[in-house]
Structure 1
Amino acid sequence: MASISSLGIGSGLDLNGLLDQLDEAERGKLKPIERQIETQQVKISAYGKLEGALSAFQTAAKALNDASLYQSLSTSVSGDAVQAAAGSDATIGQYDVTVNHLATAGTLASGRLEGIESLDQPLTDSEQTLTLSFANAEGGAGVDVPITIAAGSSLEDIRDAINAHEDAGVTASIVNDGAGYRLALMSSETGQEASITGLTFGDADGNAYTDPNSFFTADVTFSTAEGAGEIAQTGQDASLEVNGIPIVSASNKVEGAIQGVTLNLAEEGSSIVKVEQNTRAVREAITGFVEAFNSLKDTIGELTAFNSESGAAGDLLGDSAVRSIESRLRSVLGGGVAAEEGGFAMLSEIGISLKLDGKLEIDEERLDEVIVNDQDALSAFFAGDSTTGGLAGQLSETVTQLSGSNGALGGAKSGAENRIESLKERYIRMEQSIEGTIARYRTQFGQLDGLIAQMNQTSDYLFQQFDMMNAQLGKK
């Protein structure tokens, strides 16, 4: 039988079109599997959204499960003289703070350098030593810091050598006073003891020159004439009073003057510093907890909604995992905790109630009263005496269990993922079967095309023979 390279050539029939229709009909068997895979993917996405809302709620619950939250203190300051921050060891109270003067850093400007045409001009012919001297609050000899200056150094190089020295204790800069350049130094720290008080020029061994000009090249003059010599401003310690008690500090950041409180001195004047319980942090944590739960309820409502008019349904409508999650959380929220005498056992006792729609509602007045007067009882209620002893700990643990591989959400999510894998395998097998079927159809159509072509050829031959016979008979 002759080989047919394209279906339909031999027979004149549209066998390719027919084969395409058969292929399309066979592939229609894949559509239900595709829809099932899409359904599971939509579910997984919905589970992810639910998981995010659960995680946010768990984070809010964990914030309430921290006992230190209910022991935190805050500061309030009236007046602009100081700013204050309370630590964990601060004591509740009120303090009158008067700042007499702030701590300042010592400054020093060298004598004027004349004859410098540019800042990168070399000023030293050989290695030299520059010695910085610092004050001593106790009236002693103070501290000297030697700094090596390389040969050929410019004024910029001298400045940079000072700034690069890790123990210099100053920041160096260059000032032009209109008549010449000066090397300006400012102590890195405030206070009298850290104050820069002297600048000495010496040789490579640190021996001071009697004439500072020996430090420099011949074309540069170090002027010590009246009005051009060293200009120094000694640093001073801060002076303040706390409840009338005089205090001296080398820094404007004062620690220890009030136990557990850090004072940052801002300006001269008076301020009143109050250290009190941080009720704001507790209220924000409780409000955040309620808002996170209600947001979780909104997410669940969106995922399980049904519109009777349009027929639109949420992605998890009727899902058993969602019902299980809601049931478990309601049980923990409604169950409360075991409480000692005078403590809180139920959310309703602190001003939080569970409404008919499943959301939480705050009685602002009652909650404020509890936060102000019963923070120890609040701590016992939410945080308890162990990780899962309080309500917040129980809720956090419940969310962990629900989200785990064996939990309602974790199990539902992994189940959907497994179904997708199974459906994909089924899809591949089905697709391979369809391809085999179409291949058989193609072979059979090819055979049919060849057979019809052969029959057409035979028919044409017979007609030709009949025509010839008729022609011969007609001549006779």
Structure 2
Amino acid sequence: MASISALGVGSGLDLTGLLDQLRAAERQKLQPIVAQRTQEQAKISAYGRLQSALNKFQDATAKLNDPKLYQGLTTQVRGDGMTATASATATPGNYEVEVLNTARAGSVATTRVTDSSAALAGPNASLELSFGDGTTRTVTFDEGATLADMRNAINADADAGVNASIIFDGQGHRLVLSSRESGVDAGVTGVSFAGLSDPGALAEDTAARQAGRDAELNINGITITSATNRVEGAIQGVTLELSADSAGKTLGVTVQRDTESLKEAIQGFVSAYNEMKSTIGRMTAVGTDSTSAGELIGDRVIRSIESRLSRDLTDIVPGGDITMMSQLGISLRPNGRLELDESKLDEAIATNQQAVADFFAGDSKEAGLAGRLEDSMKRFLGDDGLIKSSITSSETRIESLKDRFERMERTIDRSIERYRRQFGQLDMMMAQMNSMSAYLSQQFDIMNAQLGRKR
């Protein structure tokens, strides 16, 4: 008998449908593996979010552990026409700055040239420039150079000390030379041309000379001069920038501790900690189903982190006037979050900023509260820390579950193939039996017909 190519053809039974049901039933064995793999993937994602929140808290903590935060100074200028910037070497104080003069660059202009395209330079033409410090500099020109060529040659000479331009005064063209730097010493004081094709064609117009000038200030009764309008060192650690309209003005400068940046850093510390706690709260929330429950309920890593941070925050910080966060207006609430009393913090910063620095930063990188927390953060976030170890562990379990899933699939495929062969054999047997039944029925019918005719 020929083999049966489709299940159920020989027997008339829905063996294909039965095989599909058996396959579906067998594949139910894969669901626990899929569920475990999904759970581990959700944990990895949650650890990533936790890592991000801890990184933000670590950054906020690092700011408080930086001594520069407590040494920072700010400046305030009363009046317009000047700005002031303080460096770490400045000291707090109040200063009265009277601006007598601002610095300016010197300039000279030449006599007019009617035709700007005319050749002015002879074979050995040159320009000698004189400056306020008594030095001179020489610029040479190519033979046949025009006024524009001379301008270009001067500007191309890095050592010329002046910038050249051409202006038209309504009657002719003039070469204007302006000092590249401001101040008396750098100011150009005179020019002299030599080797011109017409000796009288170009000369200095002494009436159009502007001498270089130093800035002059009176700071708390002391006269200060500066070659530029950027005055450095007159007030230790403070740089003053004068604008053109500051001359004749008396301005006030106050240098003081940068308490605002310190307060913002502490506020950022509290905010980052609370944000991290909110992230942990969502990950450990007990829900009514798998979609609303947190991914890390009962996770030992979460318990370790919360326990360590709580201990870090509440333990006394020895060695200073401030030993507990509560003295700064920071309290740890029953819900695990920090609460900040800004008025109490303002008072602590205003009355004893050094004590605030000692509490957070201490006398070494590890001594204060911030140093203690940074050490904990390294344990959590380091290459061998809790977070990365947990992620690696989940990734390893996912790989193991993947292998288990593939092995189970192969086992199921073998079982289904065995069922298929058995159903095929059953189908063939049923087909043979049906064929035999039809044959016997036919023979019985023939015999009955013969017996009937004999009667």
> TM-score, structure 1 length as denominator?
0.80
2:131 matched residue in structure 1: 135
2:139 matched residue in structure 1: 146
* Distance (Å, rounded) in 2 between the aligned partners of 1:154 and 1:21: 101
Which of 338, 353, 371 is the equivalent residue of 1:393? 371
* Distance (Å, rounded) in 2 between the aligned partners of 1:310 and 1:46: 14
Give the letter for the 2:136 counterpart.
Answer: V
User: What is the CA deviation profile of residues 108-167 of structure 1, one whole-angstrom value per residue up to 9, with x for unaligned ones?
Assistant: 5555554468xxxx9699998664725133xx1x23153666x89887776565545444
2:393 matched residue in structure 1: 415
Can you give the 5+ residue segments of structure 2 that lack an aligned partner in the other structure? none
Residue 306 in 1 paired to residue 286 in 2? yes
Which of 426, 430, 442 is the equivalent residue of 2:404? 426
* Distance (Å, rounded) in 1 between the aligned partners of 2:111 and 2:65: 64
Instruction: Quote the offset at 1:67 in angstroms.
Output: 2.1
Instruction: Quote the offset at 1:328 in angstroms.
Output: 0.8
Residue 294 of structure 1: SS of its match in structure 2? helix
1:251 matched residue in structure 2: 228
Q: Per the alignment, do residues 22 and 389 of structure 1 end up closer, same or farther by CA in structure 2, a change over 3 Å counting?
A: same
* Distance (Å, rounded) in 1 between the aligned partners of 2:397 and 2:139: 77
* Distance (Å, rounded) in 1 between the aligned partners of 2:301 and 2:8: 57
* Distance (Å, rounded) in 2 between the aligned partners of 1:235 and 1:473: 148
Instruction: Quote the offset at 1:246 in angstroms.
Output: 1.6
Residue 95 in 1 paired to residue 87 in 2? no
* Distance (Å, rounded) in 2 between the aligned partners of 1:212 and 1:291: 79
Instruction: Quote the offset at 1:26 in angstroms.
Output: 2.5
User: What is the CA deviation profile of residues 406-450 of structure 1, one whole-angstrom value per residue up to 9, with x for unaligned ones?
Assistant: 544343333222222221221122222223333334444455555
Instruction: Quote the offset at 1:168 in angstroms.
Output: 4.4
* Distance (Å, rounded) in 2 between the aligned partners of 1:18 and 1:129: 110
* Distance (Å, rounded) in 1 between the aligned partners of 2:331 and 2:16: 71
Q: Per the alignment, do residues 452 and 75 of structure 1 end up closer, same or farther by CA in structure 2, a change over 3 Å counting?
A: same
Instruction: Quote the offset at 1:301 in angstroms.
Output: 1.8
Give the letter for the 2:81 counterpart.
Answer: A
1:194 matched residue in structure 2: 186
* Distance (Å, rounded) in 1 between the aligned partners of 2:128 and 2:417: 95
1:320 matched residue in structure 2: 300
Q: Per the alignment, do residues 115 and 372 of structure 1 end up closer, same or farther by CA in structure 2, a change over 3 Å counting?
A: same
Residue 286 of structure 1: SS of its match in structure 2? helix
* Distance (Å, rounded) in 2 between the aligned partners of 1:132 and 1:460: 131
Instruction: Quote the offset at 1:9 in angstroms.
Output: 5.6
Q: Does the 8 Å contact 1:111/1:230 carry over to 2?
A: no
Q: Per the alignment, do residues 132 and 444 of structure 1 end up closer, same or farther by CA in structure 2, a change over 3 Å counting?
A: farther
* Distance (Å, rounded) in 1 between the aligned partners of 2:162 and 2:4: 96
2:353 matched residue in structure 1: 375
Residue 195 of structure 2: SS of its match in structure 1? coil
Q: Per the alignment, do residues 49 and 458 of structure 1 end up closer, same or farther by CA in structure 2, a change over 3 Å counting?
A: same
Instruction: Quote the offset at 1:389 in angstroms.
Output: 0.8
Q: Which moved more, 1:460-469 or 1:168-177?
A: 460-469
Where do 1:211-226 residues align within 5 Å? Answer: 211=197, 224=202
Q: Does the 8 Å contact 1:337/1:381 carry over to 2?
A: yes
User: What is the CA deviation profile of residues 154-200 of structure 1, one whole-angstrom value per residue up to 9, with x for unaligned ones?
Assistant: 87776565545444444455545555655555433222333345566
Give the letter for the 2:61 counterpart.
Answer: A
Q: Per the alignment, do residues 238 and 3 of structure 1 end up closer, same or farther by CA in structure 2, a change over 3 Å counting?
A: farther
Where do 1:7-18 residues align within 5 Å? Answer: 7=7, 14-18=14-18
Residue 209 of structure 1: SS of its match in structure 2? strand
* Distance (Å, rounded) in 1 between the aligned partners of 2:14 and 2:386: 56
User: What is the CA deviation profile of residues 306-328 of structure 1, one whole-angstrom value per residue up to 9, with x for unaligned ones?
Assistant: 35699932222232221221111
Give the letter for the 1:439 counterpart.
Answer: E
RMSD: 3.9
* Distance (Å, rounded) in 2 between the aligned partners of 1:403 and 1:465: 88
Q: Does the 8 Å contact 1:405/1:414 carry over to 2?
A: no
Instruction: Quote the offset at 1:18 in angstroms.
Output: 3.8
Instruction: Quote the offset at 1:468 in angstroms.
Output: 8.3
Q: Does the 8 Å contact 1:132/1:146 carry over to 2?
A: yes
Instruction: Quote the offset at 1:346 in angstroms.
Output: 1.1
* Distance (Å, rounded) in 2 between the aligned partners of 1:470 and 1:176: 139
* Distance (Å, rounded) in 2 between the aligned partners of 1:154 and 1:400: 71
> TM-score, structure 2 length as denominator?
0.84
Q: Per the alignment, do residues 61 and 458 of structure 1 end up closer, same or farther by CA in structure 2, a change over 3 Å counting?
A: same
1:219 matched residue in structure 2: none
Which of 277, 282, 285 is the equivalent residue of 1:297? 277
1:20 matched residue in structure 2: 20
Give the letter for the 2:195 counterpart.
Answer: Y
Q: Does the 8 Å contact 2:122/2:195 carry over to 1?
A: no
* Distance (Å, rounded) in 1 between the aligned partners of 2:288 and 2:31: 28
Where do 1:174-189 residues align within 5 Å? Answer: 175-177=167-169, 182-189=174-181
Residue 385 of structure 1: SS of its match in structure 2? coil
Number of residue equivalences: 451
Residue 72 in 1 paired to residue 65 in 2? no
Give the letter for the 1:303 counterpart.
Answer: M
User: What is the CA deviation profile of residues 289-342 of structure 1, one whole-angstrom value per residue up to 9, with x for unaligned ones?
Assistant: 1121122222222222235699932222232221221111111111021125xx
Where do 1:339-350 residues align within 5 Å? Answer: 339-340=319-320, 343-350=321-328
Residue 240 in 1 paired to residue 226 in 2? no
* Distance (Å, rounded) in 2 between the aligned partners of 1:11 and 1:145: 116
Q: Per the alignment, do residues 112 and 467 of structure 1 end up closer, same or farther by CA in structure 2, a change over 3 Å counting?
A: farther
Can you give the 5+ residue segments of structure 1 that lack an aligned partner in the other structure? 202-207, 214-221
Give the letter for the 1:136 counterpart.
Answer: G
Instruction: Quote the offset at 1:464 in angstroms.
Output: 7.5
Where do 1:459-474 residues align within 5 Å? Answer: none
Give the letter for the 1:42 counterpart.
Answer: A
